[in-house]
Chains A and B, each alone.
Chain A
Amino acid sequence: MMLDFASQADYFWALLPEIVLSLAAMLVLLVDVFQKGNRSEPSRPIIGWLALAGVVVATAANVWIGDLTETGAAGMVAVDQFRIFTNYIFLLVAALSIMLSIGYLERHGMNLGEYFVLLMFSTVGMMLMASARDLILLFLALELMSVAIYVLVGFNRRDARSAEGALKYFMLGAFSSGFLLYGIALVFGSTGSTNLAVIAPLLDGGLAGESLMFLIGAALILTGLGFKVAAVPFHAWTPDVYEGAPTPITGFMATGVKAAAFAAFIRVFAVAFEGVYLQWASVIWWLAVATMVGANLVALTQGSVKRMLAYSSIAHAGYLLVALVSANSYGAAAFLFYLVVYTLMTIGAFGMVIANERGEKERVTLQDYAGLGWQQPMVGAFFSIFLISLAGFPLTGGFIGKVYILKGALDSGLSVLAVILVVSSLVSYFYYLRVVVVMYMQPASSQDAHSGMVLSAPARIALGVAAIAVLVLFFYPGPLLDAAQHSVASLFPDQGFLVGRP
């Protein structure tokens, strides 16, 4: 089917997955309300499953729009393979997070239907953000995603840290939205449009690219998105928020929010602002270095596993920035591939943090993991898989992903950045391994320190699938590599070529 955005009705088809997911979210809300009436009680188990069904239907809709094509490329919403691919990632993130939440919410006495609704709306925001070809839509999508997440972070309102995290995230998030919006205004002022498809040719001609107003605007957009991906030095909120948030939401934020902001990064900078590559590339080059080195060094000193994983996710933002600064089809495809692996292993790792809870107690210090590997062999094995994949070690998808990013960087002649990536990930081995050391090489505090298992069946399935997928992506990465390469072909018609370089 051919879409022509001259007709407003075609936007309906172009946005089908987002619309389906929004309707499903509203349905979940209504079912929850009608079941409870005006009584104050926990939601029924069906709510979680209903939310999951909504995600599945939205996935089906995403499959359907995979065949759509658009005339021209001037619509506010991009209908290209890049968007389809990122949509799958967001839906995967949502599905895994919902499955991890089932059981978790009951245990913590916050089983409310709104949780799933907010999660789904936030996912809609992410999907729109990755598809936005207009800066205004980008801003709206970012707000839709963020507002839902502000609430989710503070969802456990009896927990002081959860509330603290929510407030911090809200304050800094609002601040960064301001930056983004001001940047959009300046870009609009210097180019006369908010549509990326209109802006791009102006930059190629060197008209607006020279203007100071445009460059300041671009810098502010970079700052706004930098906050969302938690790149150093815009990362200060991350550890507290990730630590305070309910753990499934931490996983959701670390993967979904980051992926959405990066997708916007690619669309805005690597594609639309390609004409001024030389101006922004050096900035992102330094951001990548600061993020990789800074986050990995700080992660070394963390005593809490959850906080360590928070810093680890910052470090991974640094690796993804390397893919961004490569700004070639290799880099963008590497970015997509890496996002898939990163989603699986990060949600998996946070899932293992949930698995180590006992009762209401969140056991996150390193000592709480002593002897876990022997008393709970499956938990130990899965956590080890996720950790060595995060470290980028062979036998896991994380290795292929990292090699892919390195290939992208070397293809753009960024040898120094590649070496920095490699050396900083050597640092990361130390803190990932430390968890393995504690799990297997230190004795447990008692014989039954880890007896009992709190994970619900859906959560176990989600983690099992994620662990197996991480391994499969090493031994049989071909199909996903091809899909990633294929998905970025529409973004970079001059495949494999260096862009923006003399």
Chain B
Amino acid sequence: MGFYESHWVLTFLIFAPLVGAGIALAVPAKSAGKVALWTGIIEFLVSVPLFWTFEPLGPAMQNEVAAAWIPSWGIYYRLGLDGISLFMVLLTTLLLPLSVLGSWSYIQDRRNAYYAMLLALTTGVVGVFVAMDMFLFYVFWEMMLIPMYFLIGVWGGTERIYASVKFFLYTMFGSLLMLVAILYMFFRYQAVTGIASFSYFDFLQVPLSMGEQWWLFAAFAIAFAVKVPIFPFHTWLPHAHVQAPTAGSVVLAGVLLKMGTYGFLRFALPLFPGAATDRTTVLLFMVLGLFGIVYTAMVAAVQPNAKRLVAYTSVAHLGFAILGIFAFNIQGVQGALLLMIGHGVSTPMLFFLLGMLYERRHTYELADFGGLAASMPIFASMLVFSALATIGLPGTAGFSAEFLVLLGTFRAEPFVALVAATGVIVAAYYMLPMVQKIIFNSIDRDENRNLVDLNRREVGIMVPLIIVILWIGVYPRPFLDRMEPAVTRLVEYMELSSFAGPDGPGSPADIAAARAAAPLGGSR
């Protein structure tokens, strides 16, 4: 089997950054950045062909592997890739070289450790998206916390320690409960079949009563809700974003938050279909999503700090993703996925731009800027573009995604869609004043008169992001085609398994029937 047909491509993508991190630690400080950049470029180039080698109509899970790790506990090194995780992996590998470039002049001290942490972070994130063993997934899920914690805590702003500890403890709170839930599932599976296994595909077959599903779903959902973050679990995010160095914010907004929405799609929903599709749950999450969209947009609008403002917009955007996911139809879920990708390029672009501004002026306060369009024309046009992409102007990624989400939500809950649609307007309400305060108005500070415009490296970071934003905005078909079979399978699975049978919705019999009719993949 070739590299791209086997698991080796995924294994490479997981471990290459780790090797790069080791080298970055060993070389002299001035070459650490080069090591990281080359690692990032290789990582990205190796991952790109996946876009074409992935067969949308092929088996549900591709590039699979199951190698024994701790066989007596049924723990395997089990990976797989499907239409949902494909784009998350590609997004991660795209952002890696860009965030190295974005740190090029920003990070001056302790470069070895910095780039090692950035690379190790990528290992954890890629691992989360392709792990199909619950134990392995949990390990990656947790391990990515350590580099992020150091990135914020060592290279962050003045309140970095508070921000990093808050980030760590919030995330841990959710994930430790998830660990108990995973172990509980393990025992239920063992009790039924007599086989010890942590395989995701085996967990799908655990027959759970509605009572059990409620508790387990809650444990998983809290872990993911903190990560997304869904209102009211979002309070760690503004701190982490404001204090993190640019690359930290980029990875945080670009991919870390998506681990939460990915977790819902991959685990919380299919494992506990009865609890997830219950009308109470759906309405709860939709209302929380709406809160995220409307409330955090209001909060964002009054922020004096540009980075904090952008941080709140993330909560608002992921509120859309939550709506799409809990619409449980193809448009909704596809829209949510597209939104995850679109947000994963447009928000990092904003963070990169703010970081470049910070390098020149050492502030994020909106009041310190004004009239930069005159001194930095290239920067100004980039900022306008990224702001419009964030608002969701037609022709950008945000528009296609939010349109699909609203379409899906309307089919499920018309009134929710009505309120959510106002979110698109509110986005303009917080984004445009920010742009105005930074680049328009008059130059009222002398420091802003002679700022140097973006150099070639900085423009180079922007170009790939702009390409992806426009591509999804104008022609999202290639993306939608690749995710559609996986999304269809998921939606059918949820429908069948929550169909009200004789034992009520989501009973073991329904789940078994759904599994047979719409398998979520996994060779045994």
Enumerate chain A interface residues (CB-CB to B < 8 A): 374, 388, 393-395, 399, 403, 406-407, 410-411, 415, 418-419, 422-423, 425-426, 429-430, 433-434, 437, 440-442, 477-478, 481-482, 485
Task: Tell me if B177 and A419 are in contact (CB < 8 A).
Answer: yes
Enumerate chain B interface residues (CB-CB to A < 8 A): 70-73, 110, 138-139, 142-143, 146, 149-150, 153-154, 160-161, 164-165, 168-169, 172-173, 176-177, 179-180, 183-184, 186-187
Least CB distance, B187 to chain A, in whole angstroms: 5
Complex: how many Å from CA A437 to CA B153? 7
Q: Which 9 A-B pairs have the closest CB atoms?
A: A394-B139, A422-B176, A394-B142, A441-B153, A441-B161, A410-B187, A406-B183, A394-B143, A418-B180
5 sample A-B contacts, Cβ–Cβ < 8 Å, listed by A number: A410-B180, A419-B177, A429-B168, A437-B153, A478-B72
| Nearest chain B residue, comparing its CB with the CB of A485 | B72
Complex contacts, B139 vs chain A, CB 8 Å: 394-395, 399
Given A393-B142, A394-B138, A441-B154: A482 and B72 interface contact (C-beta under 8 Å): yes
Given A394-B138, A394-B139, A478-B71: A441 and B183 interface contact (C-beta under 8 Å): no
Task: Tell me if B184 and A415 are in contact (CB < 8 A).
Answer: yes
Least CB distance, B14 to chain A, in whole angstroms: 14
Complex: how many Å from CA A434 to CA B153? 11
Complex: how many Å from CA A388 to CA B168? 13
Task: Tell me if A374 and B172 are in contact (CB < 8 A).
Answer: no
Complex: how many Å from CA A485 to CA B186? 18
Task: Tell me if A441 and B160 are in contact (CB < 8 A).
Answer: yes
Complex: how many Å from CA A478 to CA B142? 21
Contact of B154 among A419, A425, A440, A482 (CB under 8 A): A440
Task: Tell me if A425 and B176 are in contact (CB < 8 A).
Answer: yes
Complex: how many Å from CA A426 to CA B110? 30
Task: Tell me if B180 and A422 are in contact (CB < 8 A).
Answer: yes
Least CB distance, B154 to chain A, in whole angstroms: 6
Task: Tell me if B176 and A395 are in contact (CB < 8 A).
Answer: no
Task: Tell me if B165 and A437 are in contact (CB < 8 A).
Answer: yes
Complex: how many Å from CA A388 to CA B164? 16
Complex: how many Å from CA A481 to CA B75? 13
Complex contacts, B179 vs chain A, CB 8 Å: 403, 406, 422
Complex: how many Å from CA A452 to CA B126? 40
Given A430-B169, A477-B70: A440 and B186 interface contact (C-beta under 8 Å): no
Complex: how many Å from CA A77 to CA B271? 50
Complex contacts, A437 vs chain B, CB 8 Å: 153, 161, 164-165
Task: Tell me if B176 and A433 are in contact (CB < 8 A).
Answer: no
Complex: how many Å from CA A442 to CA B161? 9
The number of A-B residue pairs with CB atoms under 8 Å apart is 72
Complex contacts, A477 vs chain B, CB 8 Å: 70
Least CB distance, B169 to chain A, in whole angstroms: 6
Task: Tell me if A374 and B176 are in contact (CB < 8 A).
Answer: no
Contact of A410 among B153, B165, B168, B184 (CB under 8 A): B184
Task: Tell me if A433 and B184 are in contact (CB < 8 A).
Answer: no
Task: Tell me if B142 and A411 are in contact (CB < 8 A).
Answer: no
Task: Tell me if A441 and B146 are in contact (CB < 8 A).
Answer: no
Least CB distance, A229 to chain B, in whole angstroms: 24
Complex: how many Å from CA A423 to CA B165? 16
Task: Tell me if A481 and B70 are in contact (CB < 8 A).
Answer: yes
Least CB distance, A220 to chain B, in whole angstroms: 34
Complex: how many Å from CA A234 to CA B143? 36
Least CB distance, B177 to chain A, in whole angstroms: 7
Residue of A395, A429, A434, A437 with most chain B CB atoms under a 10 A cut-off: A437
Task: Tell me if B165 and A433 are in contact (CB < 8 A).
Answer: yes
Least CB distance, B110 to chain A, in whole angstroms: 7
| Nearest chain B residue, comparing its CB with the CB of A392 | B176
Complex: how many Å from CA A440 to CA B150? 8
Least CB distance, A119 to chain B, in whole angstroms: 35
Least CB distance, B134 to chain A, in whole angstroms: 12
Given A394-B138, A394-B142, A477-B70: A407 and B172 interface contact (C-beta under 8 Å): no
Task: Tell me if B173 and A407 are in contact (CB < 8 A).
Answer: no
Complex contacts, B187 vs chain A, CB 8 Å: 407, 410-411
Complex contacts, B180 vs chain A, CB 8 Å: 406, 410, 415, 418-419, 422
Least CB distance, B109 to chain A, in whole angstroms: 10
Task: Tell me if B183 and A403 are in contact (CB < 8 A).
Answer: yes
Complex contacts, A434 vs chain B, CB 8 Å: 165
Given A411-B187, A426-B173, A478-B72: A441 and B138 interface contact (C-beta under 8 Å): no
Complex contacts, B184 vs chain A, CB 8 Å: 410, 415
Complex: how many Å from CA A477 to CA B71? 10
Given A407-B183, A426-B172, A426-B176: A441 and B72 interface contact (C-beta under 8 Å): no
Complex: how many Å from CA A426 to CA B169? 7
Complex: how many Å from CA A422 to CA B186? 17
Contact of A429 among B72, B172, B186 (CB under 8 A): B172
Complex: how many Å from CA A450 to CA B172? 32
Complex: how many Å from CA A430 to CA B143? 17
Least CB distance, A332 to chain B, in whole angstroms: 16
Complex contacts, A425 vs chain B, CB 8 Å: 176
Least CB distance, A176 to chain B, in whole angstroms: 34
Complex contacts, B143 vs chain A, CB 8 Å: 394-395
Complex: how many Å from CA A485 to CA B177? 26
Complex: how many Å from CA A403 to CA B175? 13
Task: Tell me if A388 and B146 are in contact (CB < 8 A).
Answer: yes
Least CB distance, B297 to chain A, in whole angstroms: 32
Contact of B165 among A374, A388, A430, A440 (CB under 8 A): A430
| Nearest chain B residue, comparing its CB with the CB of A437 | B161
Least CB distance, B11 to chain A, in whole angstroms: 15
| Nearest chain B residue, comparing its CB with the CB of A475 | B69
Least CB distance, A247 to chain B, in whole angstroms: 27
Least CB distance, A489 to chain B, in whole angstroms: 13
Complex: how many Å from CA A407 to CA B139? 16
Complex contacts, B165 vs chain A, CB 8 Å: 430, 433-434, 437
